[in-house]
A and B are shown apart, each in its own frame.
Chain A
Amino acid sequence: MIRLVTDDLRPPGDPPKRHLLSVGDLTRDDVERLLGTARTFETSLERHVKKLPTLKGHLIVNLFYESSTRTSSSFELAAKRLSADTLSVKSVGSSVDKGESLKDTALTLGAYDPDVIVIRHPQIGAPQLVARVTEAHVVNAGDGKHQHPTQALLDLYTLREEFGRLEGLHVAIVGDALHSRVARSLLQAFALVGIRATLVGPPALLPRELPAETTTDIEAIRDADAVYVLRMQNERMEPGANFVPSLREYTARWGITPERLRPGQKVMHPGPMNRGVEIDSSVADSPDSLIARQVRSGLVVRMAVLYDVLTGGPVGVQALAAAEVA
């Protein structure tokens, strides 16, 4: 199809399958429903037997082309807590090592009729390609510098648990926004629920023309309810790129230290952290750090996402109880 400036770029009508590819695809209602479902699942995890039969008989494939601890383990555990079968494929040690294309890998895994494919890939748009060539529901677990929608959802969940609300909060996002899919997803998610965002970081790491409040002045974090620290992405820094003169100088000017925070100001980080670079160890381990809570939120939010793409409806305590009886 021709895509003109004025054209609506999305194909008309509802997509045939429910996917979670980008925060941009979600409405505020979707977010509310997903957070509500996650809350319900959190309650269920407080019970003695933590496993729910909800997705029994479903196959969930985790296809990871990038290393990951939190995301891959929480997706796997989320699927298991919901009684789904899981299959984890990592690029290392698979046919990807032999040069198999993403399309062919997706077609191969698609032949097992998975209900959901969770994919992490270093290239933007990889989840869209998998959604195009397979029949599965696709959940984006991070594609290049583009999107990481479940991270944004779990951060909203964490913020609501902490503050009891989302609308009207102010969050400062500090660090390498240019290379951060987390920052991009957060900005969209924050806009959706009415959180004010300020991006803070070195000039070359603030993307040009991004519709967001940006500043290079670290003092700007003072007004925020929470400071969201981004990972300084060494692995994406080409040698000689000179985004910043040195990590040492970065830490001196933008590192989050106790001195830069107000007492009681909350701190978040998507992990993995470079302690001593973008975040001081004492900040990461302080009672005002929400970092461990984010990890726990990740589990219940991913349970909610898997449940939601497969069933498309809200989940109530009664429905859960009924499922348990069955």
Chain B
Amino acid sequence: MLWQRELPAADLVIRGARVLDPTEGIDASLDVRIDGGTIAEVAEHVDANGHRVVEAAGLVLAPAFVDPHVHLRTPGREDEETVASGTAAAAAGGYCAILAMPNTDPVVDSAATLGALVEAARREAEVPVGFLAAITRGQRGEELTEMGELAETGAVAFSDDGMPVSSAGLMRRALQYASSTDRPLALHCEEPTLSHGGHVHEGRVAAELGFAGYPSVAESVAVERDLALARYESGRVHVLHLSAVESVDALRRAREAGVAASGEATPHHLVLTDDAVRSLDPNVKMNPPLRAEQDRIALLEAVRDGTIEAIATDHAPHAAHEKDVPFEAAPFGVTGLETAFAVLHTHLVAPGVLPLETLLERMSAGPARVFGLDRPRVATGARANLVLLDLEREWTVGEQPFRSRSDNSWLLGSRLKGAVHMTLAGGAVAFE
């Protein structure tokens, strides 16, 4: 279900790193030998066997990251991102797999469009990439896509991300039909009659600045509705970019009741609140909007306790001229692939808010589990999907050009602590 261009399989020894794979229960200073792209030996000392040796003392070697929520803008807006540039950005961010959303132009709602993307990925993807297909044709919320054929062509899951399915009846039919393809529905939960026209979380900041409010309840009523439907239909759902405490509570209750539901949170919702909007910087405009501190705390708590299994960037590249406008005129969305680990390490792990192990799990094993992908792991016989991290290195975002074609990052100019030293994806060195 994932595709990548042909890259030379790595023959490599990584020496002396702190190997940290929370799911495998490994946390020790070890050497790792990779033969032909596959992990051949993990031991206190391994022979180089003539391989290139990467001296990694002081670095952390972990399973590489999986991003279940990326916008590659292809087809249609290749000026903003391509499969090549988006996957290069992913490699630089430590990712060994990303999943692309279908809200392109045209929408990925047919086997033909999906097939063309798969071909593009085979030609140009620097890291393995998978694709979600739309739930409804044209994401218009009227007719279901041919999910069977789309699944056979390689769709990992179905989503109308960006265009919530507003009809409850249609959502029910989607849940029923998707179950026959054994693919989850990834849901953008937004009640459009409540969010309509809103740019900023409906709270004190919106009230003071005069922005039309996008209330939390616009998300949580849709989350509640879709979880109720998933429960009734025994469907599998993944709630995209959770932002509000009420939504998190709903997801937690549903999971306790046995609903096959998962959820994700983005770095920006975990680090920022709507206070950031006071800057009027279009690079803090996203959907769902940044919310209040109580929401941020609830998201963090859910990441900690596993209610939220995945951290997703919602990497949403936009052309510079489209973001260089007044806040209200700017499109929603920010980039994130190249900064996700560093910003979460800087603002959550380093201050002791989130254990490093939890962050690594939610950025790798968690999302892989949700979407039925092979879990990146440090184990003999596993394909090399590894990231080498330098937790001490400080860097300034934007000093080096982004590999993404767009630079609408909310972190431009920020100083971060923690950097990706090397990424192995699909058995090949994708970044160093």
Name A's B-contacting residues (CB within 8 A): 1-5, 9, 101-103, 121, 123-126, 128-129, 143-147, 181, 184, 207-211, 238
Contact in complex: A121, B326 (CB < 8 Å): yes
Looking at the assembled complex, report how far the CB atom of B172 sits from the nearest CB atom of chain A, in whole angstroms: 27
Contact in complex: A9, B279 (CB < 8 Å): yes
Contact in complex: B413, A124 (CB < 8 Å): no
Name the one of A1, A4, A101, A146 contacting B209, with C-beta atoms under 8 angstroms.
A146
Name the one of A4, A144, A211 contacting B328, with C-beta atoms under 8 angstroms.
A144
B168 on the interface (CB 8 Å rule)? no
> Could you list 16 further interchain pairs (A-B, Cβ under 8 angstroms) beyond the known A1-B413, A5-B293?
A2-B271, A2-B410, A4-B272, A9-B275, A103-B321, A103-B325, A124-B280, A125-B326, A126-B326, A128-B280, A128-B326, A145-B211, A184-B208, A184-B209, A209-B204, A210-B204
Name the one of B202, B273, B329, B413 contacting A5, with C-beta atoms under 8 angstroms.
B273
Looking at the assembled complex, report how far the CB atom of A235 sits from the nearest CB atom of chain B, in whole angstroms: 14
Interface flags, B201-232, vs A, CB<8A=1, else 0: 01110111111110000000000000000000
Q: How far is the CA of A281 from the CA of B353 in the complex (A)?
A: 61
B197 on the interface (CB 8 Å rule)? yes
A101's closest neighbor in chain B, by CB?
A: B325
Contact in complex: B279, A211 (CB < 8 Å): no
Contact in complex: A5, B325 (CB < 8 Å): no
Q: How far is the CA of A292 from the CA of B200 in the complex (A)?
A: 37
Query: How many residues from B make CB contacts under 8 Å with A?
Result: 38
Which residues of chain A come closer than 8 Å to B276, judged between CB atoms?
3-4, 9
Name the one of A125, A181, A238 contacting B197, with C-beta atoms under 8 angstroms.
A238
Contact in complex: A208, B326 (CB < 8 Å): no
Contact in complex: B278, A211 (CB < 8 Å): no
Looking at the assembled complex, report how far the CB atom of B206 sits from the nearest CB atom of chain A, in whole angstroms: 8
Contact in complex: B414, A2 (CB < 8 Å): yes
Q: How far is the CA of A207 from the CA of B284 in the complex (A)?
A: 22
Contact in complex: B202, A102 (CB < 8 Å): no
Contact in complex: A3, B284 (CB < 8 Å): yes
Looking at the assembled complex, report how far the CB atom of B417 sits from the nearest CB atom of chain A, in whole angstroms: 12
Given contacts A123-B327, A124-B328, A209-B203, are A145 and B272 in contact (CB under 8 A)? no
A126's closest neighbor in chain B, by CB?
A: B326
Contact in complex: A125, B328 (CB < 8 Å): yes
Contact in complex: A9, B278 (CB < 8 Å): yes
Q: How far is the CA of A128 from the CA of B282 in the complex (A)?
A: 12
Contact in complex: B272, A3 (CB < 8 Å): yes
Which residues of chain A come closer than 8 Å to B271, judged between CB atoms?
2, 4
Contact in complex: B207, A102 (CB < 8 Å): no
Which residues of chain B come closer than 8 Å to A103, judged between CB atoms?
321, 324-325
Looking at the assembled complex, report how far the CB atom of B353 sits from the nearest CB atom of chain A, in whole angstroms: 12
Name the one of A101, A125, A128, A147 contacting B321, with C-beta atoms under 8 angstroms.
A101
B137 on the interface (CB 8 Å rule)? no
Given contacts A144-B328, A210-B207, are A5 and B272 in contact (CB under 8 A)? yes
Looking at the assembled complex, report how far the CB atom of A121 sits from the nearest CB atom of chain B, in whole angstroms: 7
Contact in complex: B280, A125 (CB < 8 Å): yes
B411 on the interface (CB 8 Å rule)? yes
A130's closest neighbor in chain B, by CB?
A: B326
Looking at the assembled complex, report how far the CB atom of B285 sits from the nearest CB atom of chain A, in whole angstroms: 10
Which residues of chain A come closer than 8 Å to B327, judged between CB atoms?
123-125
Interface flags, B385-427, vs A, CB<8A=1, else 0: 0000000000000000000000000111110000000000000
Q: How far is the CA of A145 from the CA of B212 in the complex (A)?
A: 9
Which residues of chain A come closer than 8 Å to B255, judged between CB atoms?
none
Interface flags, B256-297, vs A, CB<8A=1, else 0: 000000000000000111011011110010000000010010
Name the one of A5, A143, A147, A184 contacting B275, with C-beta atoms under 8 angstroms.
A5
B140 on the interface (CB 8 Å rule)? no
Which residues of chain B come closer than 8 Å to A238, judged between CB atoms?
197
B347 on the interface (CB 8 Å rule)? yes
Looking at the assembled complex, report how far the CB atom of A148 sits from the nearest CB atom of chain B, in whole angstroms: 10
Q: How far is the CA of A147 from the CA of B211 in the complex (A)?
A: 11
Which residues of chain A come closer than 8 Å to B275, judged between CB atoms?
3, 5, 9
Which residues of chain A come closer than 8 Å to B212, judged between CB atoms?
145
A143's closest neighbor in chain B, by CB?
A: B326
Q: How far is the CA of A209 from the CA of B411 in the complex (A)?
A: 28
12 contacts between A and B (CB under 8 A): A1-B413, A3-B275, A3-B284, A4-B271, A5-B272, A9-B276, A123-B327, A124-B209, A124-B280, A124-B326, A184-B208, A211-B208
Which residues of chain B come closer than 8 Å to A207, judged between CB atoms?
206-207, 213
Contact in complex: A129, B325 (CB < 8 Å): yes
Contact in complex: A1, B414 (CB < 8 Å): yes
Name the one of A2, A126, A146 contacting B210, with C-beta atoms under 8 angstroms.
A146
Contact in complex: A208, B203 (CB < 8 Å): yes
B201's closest neighbor in chain A, by CB?
A: A209
Looking at the assembled complex, report how far the CB atom of A7 sits from the nearest CB atom of chain B, in whole angstroms: 9
A24's closest neighbor in chain B, by CB?
A: B208
Q: How far is the CA of A211 from the CA of B271 in the complex (A)?
A: 25
B322's closest neighbor in chain A, by CB?
A: A101
Q: How far is the CA of A208 from the CA of B275 in the complex (A)?
A: 16
Contact in complex: A123, B279 (CB < 8 Å): no
A122's closest neighbor in chain B, by CB?
A: B328
Q: How far is the CA of A123 from the CA of B210 in the complex (A)?
A: 10
Q: How far is the CA of A102 from the CA of B276 in the complex (A)?
A: 23
Interface flags, B305-328, vs A, CB<8A=1, else 0: 000000000000000010011111
Looking at the assembled complex, report how far the CB atom of B147 sits from the nearest CB atom of chain A, in whole angstroms: 35
Given contacts A5-B293, A125-B327, A128-B280, are A181 and B210 in contact (CB under 8 A)? yes
B328's closest neighbor in chain A, by CB?
A: A123
Contact in complex: B329, A123 (CB < 8 Å): yes
Contact in complex: A124, B210 (CB < 8 Å): yes
Which residues of chain A come closer than 8 Å to B413, judged between CB atoms?
1-2
Contact in complex: B326, A129 (CB < 8 Å): yes
Q: How far is the CA of A238 from the CA of B198 in the complex (A)?
A: 13
Name the one of B273, B293, B326 contacting A123, with C-beta atoms under 8 angstroms.
B326
